[in-house]
Amino acid sequence: MVMEFISGISLGREMKGRGYKPYTEREMADVVLPVLQGVDALHNKSIVHSDISPGNIIRAKDGTIVLIDMGAAKYMLDYQPPLSATFLKIDYAAPEQYQTAKEGIPRGEGAWTDVYAVGATMYYMLTGHKPIDVITRLSSLDSRLILPNEYEVKLSEKMIYVLERAMELEKTKRFRSATDLSEAIKDAIDDHHCSN
């Protein structure tokens, strides 16, 4: 696979450079909405990226946001493809990706898998903390997310709802598409902007 070289800085490095200071909801949206546009284009071709994380989102020198690294991408299929890679970025991987890693067949992955990873990336951007990984959440008595206010970060109620729904452990409770997640982010931002 040949991919274009993009000159810029990854979101992970950008976060480190700002001392892990959380992004505002608007700053987060300015990064995530273009990513979701790209993810939606992939999903329309029945491709799941499967490896969305701050390290795979680049702010190019001209300010353009680019989603990179298609090395783990796979078709939304129920059978073993000829070539299948499973890369788990523990803090950003959805529960069904662990099942894929275990069985070698991406049976439960779909648009909702990338939605989880984008939600986890949003969580990191908005709190300055990586989310608790799926295995820890599933093995805990309380599988809910640590709410942003526990990190002394104030977010709108709508944005907290968006994060919680995007990162639902049960895939059927997540936003069903990148478009649905985009619309929910825009709604939360617009609502928050109007109330300030």
Q: Which residues participate in catalysis according to the annotation? A: 51
Rounded to 10 degrees, the C-alpha dihedral 167/183/68/45 comes to 100
Q: 47 exposed, middle or buried (CB, 10 Å; 0-12, 13-18, 19+)?
A: middle
- The answer for residues whose C-beta is within 8 angstroms of residue 137's C-beta and 6 or more apart is 143, 144, 145, 169
Beta bridge partners of 48: 74
Spatial contact of 51 and 87, defined as CB atoms under 8 Å apart: yes
Report d(CA 38, CA 61) in Å as an integer: 19
Left (φ > 0), alpha (ψ -120 to 50) or beta: where does 7 sit? beta
Backbone torsions φ then ψ of 152, nearest 5 degrees: 60, 40
Q: Which token pair is 10?
A: 């990854």
